[in-house]
Each structure stands twice: as structure tokens, then as C-alpha cells.
């Protein structure tokens, strides 16, 4: 961090807050409520308020924050959030493709390492991997310039009708669910037949029907994002 910042904040905490705001604000960069941020970070609301005030007080500020009106990333906050997100997703890809880590383990490992790698190390990882555009979960990897392509997928939880789709991405936040999805062949790029059951579940059949169907509660369906079959 540049030395002209006037507020002393743990760098890892800053990065985690900025990444969470980026994720919750969505493609339209909406304001994020303190409640949503507290739920995602599993932090007490009072601690959220205290940290957001600090992030708004640094110069240049990381966030635009007004109590009861939510928070947005400033230009500086977005730059840093995308930089850390690039680190995270490159590390995940390196662990998965080069070191053969199971997909359900790469997220936690990347969380530990993302704050500390140098730009040179980042560049070497990217070159070794052939400058990938997506991580193993199907999420876009921000470019070195900070640009982030917008993915126009929709959540599996938003489906109104049965149909056939392509899996665009799967959430990395629940390792047990991620492991189940992979065991049933539900991975980024796979074709997916979706039918709704009367028990408030989705029945998912991946690929050409060779994998076992998987029953997924609607409450967990947001972990999978899909797009139409081309």
C-alpha cells in the first residue's frame, strides 16, 4: 500500500472487504448494504460499519460510504479489488492445472496466498498457464489492465421452466457442494438438463446422460450459473 494512507488497516482485511463489495455489487455496480456485507463476511454489523468508515477515510478513499445508504467501491477500491481477484483466480488455476489440487480445495488455498504475491510472480503464473481467461470454476479472470468481461449468465435458481443449458460457472464458496457437483459431471462448459420436482428441488442431468442425476434444493441452486445452448 502507498505510504500516504492515513488510516492503519490490516491489508488482508481491506482486500477481503473490497472483494466482497465487488462480488455483491454485481455487474451493475449497485450499492451494497451493510447487512449483506455482514452476512457474506460473517462479521458483526458494528464491525462492518467501523471498517467502512475507515475505508472511506483513507486517501484516496477505497469506498463511497454513507450510513444507511450502502457502500460502493471508489475507482481506487475497484482497482485494488480487481487486482486481488486476479491474483486469487490465477492462483486457483495454477493449483488446479499445474499442481493437481482437487477443485474443492483451491479456493481456500488461494484465499491465503492472494494478498502476498508480487506482480512479477503474478506475471510468471499467467505466462505459465497461457494467460487464461477463466478459472477452474468458470469465473472470468480480470486482465492485467483491470478490465473484467461481463458474463451474461443467469442463476439456476431463477429458472421458471425445465430445459437444456450450458453450465457457465459454479460457486467456489461451498467446497462440499462443489465436490458433489463435480462428482455428477456438473462443471463449467458441461451441458445440463434441468427438470423441476414437486419437492422444491431441481433434478440435474449432466452431459449425455451418462452421469447420475443430482437432486439440488432450490436454496442451493444459486451456486450454479447457466446460459442458453448455442
3 state SS of 51:
helix
Q: Tell me the CATH number at 179.
A: 2.30.30.90
Establish if 117 belongs to a structural domain: no
Nearest Cα to Cα of residue 80 among 44, 55, 49, 45: 55
CA distance 196 to 77: 41
Establish if 49 belongs to a structural domain: yes
Which residue matches cell numbers 486517501? 59
Looking at residue 2, its pLDDT comes to 41
- Average the pLDDT over 122-140 and give the result: 96
What's the domain count of the chain? 2
Q: Is the pLDDT of residue 188 over 90?
A: yes
Establish if 177 belongs to a structural domain: yes
Q: Which of 118-122, 145-149, 223-227 has the lowest mean pLDDT?
A: 145-149
Instruction: Among 32, 50, 73, give the residue marking a domain's end.
Output: 73
Instruction: Among 27, 51, 73, give the residue marking a domain's end.
Output: 73
Q: Tell me the CATH number at 66.
A: 1.10.10.10
Q: Is the pLDDT of residue 1 over 50?
A: no
Which residues have a Cβ under 8 Å from the Cβ of 151 and sit 6 or more positions away? 27, 139, 140, 168, 169, 225
Establish if 85 belongs to a structural domain: no
Q: Is the pLDDT of residue 5 over 70?
A: no
- Joined together, the cell numbers standing for residue 12 give 488482508
Percent pLDDT > 90 in the chain is 78
Which is higher by pLDDT, 8 or 107?
A: 107
Instruction: Among 48, 73, 98, give the residue marking a domain's end.
Output: 73
Give residue 67's domain range. 11-73
pTM of the predicted protein model: 0.88
Establish if 19 belongs to a structural domain: yes
Amino acid at each position: 500500500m502507498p505510504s500516504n494512507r492515513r488510516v492503519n488497516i490490516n491489508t488482508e482485511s481491506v482486500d477481503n472487504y473490497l472483494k466482497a463489495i465487488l462480488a455483491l455489487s454485481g455487474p451493475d455496480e449497485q450499492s451494497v448494504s451493510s447487512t449483506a456485507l455482514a452476512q457474506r463476511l460473517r462479521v458483526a454489523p458494528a464491525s462492518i460499519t467501523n471498517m467502512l468508515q475507515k475505508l472511506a477515510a483513507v486517501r484516496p478513499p477505497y469506498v463511497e460510504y454513507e450510513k444507511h445508504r450502502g457502500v460502493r467501491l471508489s475507482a481506487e477500491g475497484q482497482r485494488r479489488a480487481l487486482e486481488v481477484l486476479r491474483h486469487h483466480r490465477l492462483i486457483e488455476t495454477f493449483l488446479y492445472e499445474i499442481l493437481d489440487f482437487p477443485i474443492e480445495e483451491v479456493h481456500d488455498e488461494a484465499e491465503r496466498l492472494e494478498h502476498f504475491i508480487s506482480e512479477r510472480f503474478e506475471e510468471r503464473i499467467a505466462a505459465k498457464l497461457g494467460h487464461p481467461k477463466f478459472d477452474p470454476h468458470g469465473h472470468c479472470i480480470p486482465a492485467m489492465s483491470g478490465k473484467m468481461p461481463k458474463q451474461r449468465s443467469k442463476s439456476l435458481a431463477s429458472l421458471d421452466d425445465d430445459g437444456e443449458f450450458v453450465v457457465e460457472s459454479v460457486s467456489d464458496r461451498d467446497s462440499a457442494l462443489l465436490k458433489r457437483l463435480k462428482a455428477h459431471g456438473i462443471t463449467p462448459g458441461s451441458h445440463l438438463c434441468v427438470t423441476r420436482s414437486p419437492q422444491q428441488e431441481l433434478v440435474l442431468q449432466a452431459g449425455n446422460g451418462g452421469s447420475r442425476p443430482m437432486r439440488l434444493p432450490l436454496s442451493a441452486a444459486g451456486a450454479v450459473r447457466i446460459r442458453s445452448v448455442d
